[in-house]
Structure 1
Amino acid sequence: MPFSADRSAPARWALAALAPLALAACQNEGRVHSAPKEAYKPGGWAIAPELTRLEWGKAENRKACAPLVFTDSAGATINARPAEFSGGWAIAFDLPGLRSAYGVAGTGLLRDDDLDSAQEKERKLRAQWPYFRELPGLPQASYAGYGLQGAKPYPTDNPEGTGLDSLAYVRVGGQKCLYNVWSKLGRDHLEALLDSLRML
Structure 2
Amino acid sequence: MAARPTPAPSPIATPSPAAPRFIAADLIRRQWAKAENRAGCAPVAFTDEGGGGGTPRPATFSGGWAVAFDVPGTRSAYGVAGPGLLSADRGPPYAQTRRLARQWPYFMELDQLERPSFAGFGLEGARPYRADNPEGRGENSLAYVRIHRQHCTYNVWSRLGRAHLEVLLGGLQLLPVEN
TM-score by length of 1: 0.76
Q: For 1:98-144, what per-residue CA distance to the aligned partner results, in whole angstroms no more than 9, with x for missing partners?
A: 10000000011132644x33211100100000000000112221000
Name the larger-Rg structure. Answer: 1
Contact 1:110/1:176 (<8 A) preserved: no
SS of residue matched to 1:52? helix
Over the matched positions of the two proteins, sequence identity in percent amounts to 57
Report the CA distance shift for 1:156/1:78 in structure 2 as closer, same or farther (over 3 A): same
Residues 31-74 of structure 1: per-residue CA shift (max 9 Å, x gap): xx9xxxxx798xx4000111000000000000000000000110
C-alpha RMSD of matched pairs (Å): 1.7
Question: In the alignment, which residue of structure 2 is the partner of 1:4?
Answer: none
| Cα gap change, 1:102 to 1:162, in 2 (>3 Å) | same
The 1-side partners of 2:136 and 2:24 are apart by: 26
Aligned counterpart, 1:27: none
Cα displacement string for residues 64-101 of structure 1 (whole angstroms, at most 9, x for unaligned residues): 00000000110111310000110000000000111000
Within 2, Cα distance between the matches of 1:112 and 1:183?
24
Q: Which of the pair is proportionally richer in helix?
A: 1
Q: Distance in 2 between matches of 1:102 and 1:56?
A: 18
1:143-179: per-residue Cα shift (whole Å, max 9, x none)? 0000000000001111000111100000000011110
For residues 33-182 of structure 1, the aligned pairs below 5 Å read 44-111=20-87, 113-114=89-90, 116-182=91-157
Name segments (4+ residues, structure 1) moved above 4 Å: none
Gaps of 5+ in 2: 1-13
Q: Does the Cα contact within 8 Å between 2:65 and 2:83 map onto a contact in 1? A: yes
